[in-house]
Amino acid sequence: MYASIRPLLFRLGPEGAHALTLKLMRLVGRLPPLAALLRAWFSAPDKPVQVFGLTFPNPVGLAAGYDKDGLAWRGLACLGFGHIEVGTVTLRAQEGNPKPRLFRLPEEGALINRMGFPGDGSERVAARLFRRRTESLVLGVNLGKNKDTPLERAVEDYLALMEIFAPLADYLAINVSSPNTVGLRRLQARDALNDLLGLLLKRRAAMDLENNLPLLVKLAPDLDQEELDDALDVLLSGGIDGVIAANTTVSREGVDSPLASESGGLSGAPLGGRSTSMIRQIHQRTGGKLPIIGVGGVMCGDDAKVKLEAGATLVQVYTGLVYAGPGLVREIKRSLTAA
């Protein structure tokens, strides 16, 4: 069915089509009969995974960036996700980068985005996550700094965001790897990352939390070996619960589209190999001690299997949904339970 709808959606601009999809899924989440119908339509056997002290109904999640403002996560959950990661959320609302800032590369099965964390800000997103659901879906929140927050004060944004979302999320993901906020990736350097995570872990320890509140860090696929080793040393020594590998890439290796010259982060099929290689390196480097969420180029069930075989515990999708449609989640789940 999606194959017949996709050409119509692709007549809209990428950002417009995405906004329309979110509106429809938000409506689904508000109408219980429609939500039940969608859950039945996209049902597939679950394969629970226990990691970070949490039980995920299945290994397939929705990556950050799809539902930045927590508008449609209830409806999106009806597609069969085991977890959904809302965000990236910034402390204060901001416009993001000028449009156009999202580009489709259909011949590559890819997207390029330079969104720059546009969003409604933490207060409004938190209100949408209040009065959570009772179903088993795991809900994560991805956190980032505001564009106008100086890098040396970024920790203040992350600390404030942790305070707001700790009672509302099952886990928090610290985004220090988007290529679309100037200077943000410098927070992945050993000393900067050590200082940032040290303060976040100290604050978490001081909180009166019902659960452990797992903290994950999302890294860039463009780190060289020494940079990745430095980052992993910090994560392991500090007691971070897991890593998300990987964010979008600034590389255009193997991309022939005329749009390759657009600035921003590349996601989708061309990122698949680079992401899987990074997962394998992390798994080997840490001896499997650091659980990994694999994201980047998961376009079908086989792509998910490859990431899990490389060492990931869970996988996430985003660009795959744009090209394969909502049935992708069901396809991946069936593929994994048949393995």
**pTM of the entire predicted model:** 0.96
pLDDT tens-digit map of 33-77: 999 999 999 999 999 999 999 999 999 999 999 999 999 999 999
pLDDT tens-digit map of 248-262: 999 999 899 999 999
Phi/psi-derived region of residue 11, left when phi > 0, alpha when psi is between -120 and 50, beta in every other case: alpha
Is residue 134 over pLDDT 60?
A: no
Residue 174's CB is within 10 A of a number of other CB atoms, namely 23
Q: Which residues sit opposite 315 in a β-bridge? A: 60, 294
Q: Pick from 154, 149, 163: which is nearest to 202 by CA?
A: 163
CA atoms of 196 and 326, how far apart (whole Å): 37
Is residue 179 over pLDDT 70?
A: yes
Find the helix or strand (DSSP H, E) in which 102 lies. strand 102-105
- Confidence grade of residue 19 (pLDDT, cut at 50, 70, 90): very high
256-281 average pLDDT score: 96
What whole-number percentage of the chain has pLDDT above 90? Answer: 91
pLDDT tens-digit map of 195-231: 999 999 999 999 988 778 999 999 999 999 999 999 9
The CB-side HSE value for 317 (13 A sphere, CA atoms) comes to: 30
Q: Which residues sit opposite 66 in a β-bridge? A: none
Catalytic residue among 178, 257, 267, 275: 178
Task: Provide the 8-state DSSP code for 119.
Answer: B
Mean pLDDT across the chain: 94
Q: Pick from 58, 161, 132: which is nearest to 175 by CA?
A: 161
* Helix ranges restricted to H, the chain: 2-9, 14-30, 32-41, 73-76, 122-129, 154-165, 190-206, 225-238, 272-286, 301-310, 319-324, 327-338
User: What secondary structure does DSSP assign to 251-299, as a single string?
Assistant: --TT---GGGGS-SEEEEGGGHHHHHHHHHHHHHHHTT-S-EEEES---
In the annotation, is 237 catalytic?
Answer: no
Which residue segments constitute the domains of the chain, with CATH numbers given? 2-338 (3.20.20.70)
β-strand pairing of 292-295 with 138-143: unpaired
